[in-house]
Amino acid sequence: MVRNVAEYRINEVAAVLGVSPDTVRRWVDAGRLPARRDQGGRRVVEGADLAAFARARIADGEAGHTAATSSARNRLRGIVTEVVRDRVMAQVEITTGPYRLVSLMSREAADQLDLEVGVLAEAVIKSTNVVVERTTPH
């Protein structure tokens, strides 16, 4: 199911932040992460709120760093937390779990992918290149 508004269910938020759904529920219950109930009664988090929360966790050092092993062709799913565009280039920041990734690309590519704060994206890492692809929530 594709939703027009960037909003994420608790399990999607947990996957993006690299934590358990129970941790996300505790954050919501404590008022740390804004959420609302959808028409089905499930809790959802707006994309912009999730991006701000992810960015704050990184800035506060709360996300921590965990050891990970991966191949050179990693696909890291995360949430776009910042997009800076000028006339020619765009700088796109993605937070995935405890990690912050920054990719430079043409503005045209960022516009074609419709990259904005709060949307899901994947960073595809091959050697020294990071390719960003727009993804849709499950």
H or E element at residue 104 = strand 99-106
Residue 113 and residue 81 in one domain: yes
Structure tokens at 29: 């219950």
Q: Is residue 19 part of a domain?
A: yes
Structure tokens at 5: 């508004």
Residue 101 and residue 78 in one domain: yes
Residue 55 and residue 12 in one domain: yes
Q: Is residue 14 part of a domain?
A: yes
Q: Is residue 2 part of a domain?
A: no
**DSSP 3-state of 14:** helix
Instruction: Give the number of domains in the chain.
Output: 2
Of residues 70 and 20, more confidence is placed in 20
pLDDT in tens, 82-129: 999 999 999 999 999 888 999 999 999 999 999 999 999 988 887 666
Residue 80 and residue 55 in one domain: no
Position 45 scores a pLDDT of: 96
Position 64 scores a pLDDT of: 56
Residue 30 and residue 78 in one domain: no
Q: Is residue 101 part of a domain?
A: yes
Name the residue range of residue 86's domain: 74-134
